[in-house]
Structure 1
Amino acid sequence: MLQTDNAPNHRIHGERFMIPSDTDGVQLQLINKRPVDPVEYSAERTLVMIHGATFPSASLFDVAVAGASFMDVLARHGYDVWAVDVRGYGGSTRLPEMSQPPDDNPPLIPARTAVRDLAAAVDFVRRKRGVGRVNLLGMSWGATVAGALAAEAGERFGKLVLVAPLWLSGTPLRFDSGGPIGAYRIVSPRAFEAAWRAAAPEQERAGLIPEGWFDAWAEATLATDAASSAAGTIRAPSGAVLDVRQHWTAGNPLYDPSAIANPVLLVCAEWDVDVRFDMAQDLFTRLTGARYKRLVEIGRATHMVLMEKNRGQAFDAVIQFLDEHTVPAG
């Protein structure tokens, strides 16, 4: 097993960029972590990531606990790592409707809009680094976005990593509590802790998140929305909830997995009640066009596996997959 948290190989540099979207007046934030040591940029060593439905990239991928964030670990391993915030999230442009009461407007930013933002980020990175392709990683709802873009424009990508990928469900998902859907949701990171731990068996909840990690995560999460943080909350567009209702619990997938030809890694978690293992397994069986594919389940972990005690296992699985230069035997 790779010791990703304990054996860094490179000093790293961090930077943030604001880039144009395909909509006038809407800019997208890109976080970049890369080795400080001189490197030759390559498609194989470039990775673009996209967050999930509620928390932006800085919250999901770049909270440094135990000495490193997920982005830090990847950069120390020699990867040029980029993470985009879709419009309405994190450091990207907040739409005017997000300054109005949530019930005054329809749900903002469904997955099809996020696909356009991810495409803009990918094309920016390809131009800036002079590479024809990049690797792609999506988390939860972001895996929906990444999968849809890979199905449409797979030639832009090398490998595809889907962490806790949202997919079809024959039963309701707790992400959609029913009732009217406003333009955006008001989310308290502190209140979210109970739901996070509740996915684990009762006797495992206390140790799920190592001491100090949740506080670091909550502080970093609140910092992504200065206009709302004084109230101890962040704002998150509700388009992803509409996606669940119109697609994932309605038997109407947003994209065709068989159209993805890239190598694909699916990472799921034993105690994930938001994207259950049967959902990930169904998606896995439908990836019939993938050059090769792999499904990894992390034990004793929930939907937030990238910020939990067993996160190193997920990091190892991702890095091992990205490092491979040949198709595995068999």
Structure 2
Amino acid sequence: MTQTYSTAIRPDVDSLVSDRFTLDSDTPGISLHLRHRRLADLETFNADNTLVMVHGASYSSGSLYDVRYNGMSFIDYLALSGLSVYALDVRGYGHSTRPSEMSLPAEDNLPLCGTEIGIRDLNQVVDWVREKHQLERVQIFGMSWGGSVAGAFTSRYNDKVNKLVVLAPQWLNSGPMRIDNGGKIGAYRLIPVSQGKANWLAAAPAEHRDGLIPEGWFEAWAAQTLAEDPQSQNSTPAVLRAVNGPVQDVRNFWAVGKPFYRPQDVTRPVLLVHGEWDADVPLRIMSDYFTSFTRAPVRRWVEIGESTHMMLMEKNRLQAYRAVSDFYLRQEPEE
């Protein structure tokens, strides 16, 4: 399949500068990994072009946002559009420190690293970025559980946020949730990543599954995702460890009609991005979420057709890429 790009954004990743940072968290012995990408000639950093991203409940920022297809990842696209992008791995994910409990049998400990931990880690990174560039506010992005982290963070720290984008965030849902298989849960769960393609495609109608994921991308994504867990190859099939705090939060909040945070407390511009075939966060629950942002000065919803929860790695991903970058970089007209 031939991939086309807008004239404004080309997959010229050679024009990008890529850095990695390791920051201290608020917990001794726990460090946070941060990847950074920007145009080489970008020299002025402000609230409009400085972005901090946080990932979902199962996969790191590198897995969700930085696997390249046809030479370009989501982070690349955002950087090529003029954004200075910082993508956080919350503790327990990616290249950030994994708590020592993750080296023990999962059943030996309670679920690790829930949403409160995600908010603390995001706050640590946001403050570091703000201090580094002498900024009052930055842009914020979160997907899935990361949308919950980003939304809750913004509801508490509006003064640090320029605009908020949430892609398929968790919300009140009394129906079945694919992240929670029921039963007792321990500190973490094991995800057989390479065997997940059928589950990914199952969200789409059967007649639309062929071609939904660009050829070869799933395999590249699975390999890169597993490579971020140093213990992934210790079993057959290879498995990724993912903390269970977000699953416990589903049980304590979203599944019992109890919001973890109040969207009404967000006073910054908000964009909601959602996919037509999202089986993890169904369309039926998004309307209530969207209309809850009663104090946001700008409130938008972009629905991406023929897309699942993993839209950022599917055939219609560029629609989501453009919606996100345009929202951050477009100046809102004055009244």
Letter in 2 for 1:187: I
Residues 41 and 283 from structure 1, CA distance in 2 versus in 1: closer, same or farther, beyond 3 angstroms? same
Question: In the alignment, which residue of structure 1 is the partner of 2:93?
Answer: 89
Unaligned runs of 5+ in 2: none
Aligned pairs for 1:28-107 within 5 A: 28-107=32-111
State which of 297, 300, 306 in structure 1 corresponds to 2:303.
Answer: 297
Give the share of equivalent positions with the same residue, in percent.
Answer: 47
Question: In the alignment, which residue of structure 2 is the partner of 1:235?
Answer: 241
Q: Secondary structure at the match of 2:286?
A: helix
Question: In the alignment, which residue of structure 2 is the partner of 1:309?
Answer: 315
State which of 146, 151, 156 in structure 2 corresponds to 1:147.
Answer: 151
Aligned pairs for 1:260-299 within 5 A: 260-299=266-305
User: Are the equivalent residues in 2 in contact too, given 1:102–1:183 (CA < 8 A)?
Assistant: yes
Letter in 2 for 1:171: G
Residues 15 and 229 from structure 1, CA distance in 2 versus in 1: closer, same or farther, beyond 3 angstroms? farther
User: Are the equivalent residues in 2 in contact too, given 1:126–1:132 (CA < 8 A)?
Assistant: yes
Determine whether 1:118 maps to 2:114: no
Residues 4 and 219 from structure 1, CA distance in 2 versus in 1: closer, same or farther, beyond 3 angstroms? farther
User: Are the equivalent residues in 2 in contact too, given 1:5–1:68 (CA < 8 A)?
Assistant: no
Letter in 1 for 2:279: V
- Segments of 4+ moved more than 6 angstroms: none
Count residues with an aligned counterpart.
329
**TM-score, length basis structure 2:** 0.95
Q: Secondary structure at the match of 2:300?
A: strand
* Counterpart-to-counterpart distance in 1, 2:283 and 2:8: 26
* Counterpart-to-counterpart distance in 2, 1:294 and 1:110: 28
State which of 120, 124, 137 in structure 1 corresponds to 2:141.
Answer: 137
Residues 291 and 9 from structure 1, CA distance in 2 versus in 1: closer, same or farther, beyond 3 angstroms? farther
User: Are the equivalent residues in 2 in contact too, given 1:150–1:260 (CA < 8 A)?
Assistant: yes
The structural deviation recorded for 1:317 is: 0.7
Encode CA deviations 1:68-123: one digit per residue, 9 max, x unaligned: 00000011111100110111111001111000011111100110111000100111
Question: In the alignment, which residue of structure 2 is the partner of 1:186?
Answer: 190
Letter in 1 for 2:284: D
Letter in 1 for 2:106: P
Encode CA deviations 1:26-83: one digit per residue, 9 max, x unaligned: 1000010111114211111000000000000000011111210000001111110011
**TM-score, length basis structure 1:** 0.96
Encode CA deviations 1:112-149: one digit per residue, 9 max, x unaligned: 11100010011111111221110000000000000001
The structural deviation recorded for 1:227 is: 2.0
User: Are the equivalent residues in 2 in contact too, given 1:4–1:315 (CA < 8 A)?
Assistant: no
Question: In the alignment, which residue of structure 2 is the partner of 1:211?
Answer: 215
Encode CA deviations 1:296-324: one digit per residue, 9 max, x unaligned: 11000000000111000000111111121
Unaligned runs of 5+ in 1: none
User: Are the equivalent residues in 1 in contact too, given 2:20–2:35 (CA < 8 A)?
Assistant: yes
Question: In the alignment, which residue of structure 2 is the partner of 1:3?
Answer: 6
